[in-house]
Amino acid sequence: VLRAVMFDLDGVITDTARLHFKAWKRLTDEQGWSFDEKLNENLKGISRIGSLEIILNYNKVSLTPEKKHLFAERKNSYYNELLVDLGPQDILPGIQELLMELGKKGVKRMIASASKNALRIINQLQLGPIPGPYFEGIVDPDSVTCGKPDPELFLQASERANVDPRDCIGIEDAQAGIDAIKAAGMIAIGVGQGLKHADKTIHDTRELSYSFLEKVFER
């Protein structure tokens, strides 16, 4: 039976991908590195340092670990500037309703995000505290050694929820995330286009409801 739902943050609960894009764009423009929307797609669900490495590879630039750290920090400060205006109005449609419905049905709700800014974002969206009315728990990405597409983040989420992975649905907007959910042995719902291996793909978060999730789960 469905006992827990693992939520990705960026792209599922709120659309911060465009803010990540703007922050990376500011950094790469400053450095004269190429970066576009297409490359940005490959950064979805990937850690901050992993994202920087993809950009550096693409530009055939190699840097010392110290320099990488510096640039990653700088991108994060640009990103944090952009987060200032984020508020409850930025919760994607249908998500708050889904969270309340799942809570009433006794289905646990966990955050499985690669973002170190996840708690700040959840608080700004007024979906906190955790644990609280909307979420039972969150995985700290610092405690994860292998990021998405490795299943570790999702497995930690199910451990924290004390639920068997087979009783979980994961919702993701990134290919790396879908791959991580499937590798964890969970049912995957993909939000967006061109996602492979998801058990079900939707185009809009409005399509999500408890009965929809149950149907996908029992299929």
Interaction site with ligand B16 (CB under 6 A):
8-11, 20, 43-48, 51, 76, 113-117, 174
Pairing of strands 4-7, 200-202: unpaired
Q: CB of 129: closest distance to ligand B16 in angstroms?
A: 18
- Contact of residue 43 among Mg ion, ligand B16, none (CB under 5-8 Å per partner type): ligand B16
Single-letter code of the amino acid located at 116: K
Q: CB of 202: closest distance to ligand B16 in angstroms?
A: 16
150 is in an annotated binding site: no
Residues 6 or more apart whose CB falls under 8 angstroms from that of 133 comprise 100, 103
Output the CA angle 41-202-79, nearest 5 degrees. 35
43 is in an annotated binding site: yes
Find residue 111's DSSP bridge partners. 7, 138
Q: Which of 10, 36, 85, 142 is flagged as catalytic?
A: 10
33 is in an annotated binding site: no
117 is in an annotated binding site: yes
CB 108 within 8 A of CB 138: no
- Contact of residue 113 among Mg ion, ligand B16, none (CB under 5-8 Å per partner type): ligand B16
- Contact of residue 136 among ligand B16, Mg ion, none (CB under 5-8 Å per partner type): none
Residue with smaller CB distance to ligand B16, 66 or 142? 142
Q: Which residue has the tokens 């959910």?
A: 181
The residue number whose beta carbon is nearest to Mg ion equals 11
Catalytic annotation present for 8: yes
Residue with smaller CB distance to Mg ion, 45 or 151? 45
In the three-class reduction of DSSP (H, G, I as helix; E, B as strand; rest coil), residue 218 is classed as helix
Cis amide prior to 149 (ω within 30 degrees): yes
CB 121 within 8 A of CB 86: yes
Residues 109, 86: Cα–Cα separation, whole Å = 22
DSSP 203: S
- Contact of residue 114 among Mg ion, ligand B16, none (CB under 5-8 Å per partner type): ligand B16
46 is in an annotated binding site: yes
Catalytic annotation present for 10: yes
**Residues forming the annotated binding site for Mg(2+)?**
8, 10, 172-173
Q: Annotated active-site positions, please? A: 8, 10
**Residues forming the annotated binding site for substrate?**
8-10, 24, 43-48, 51, 75, 113-117, 148
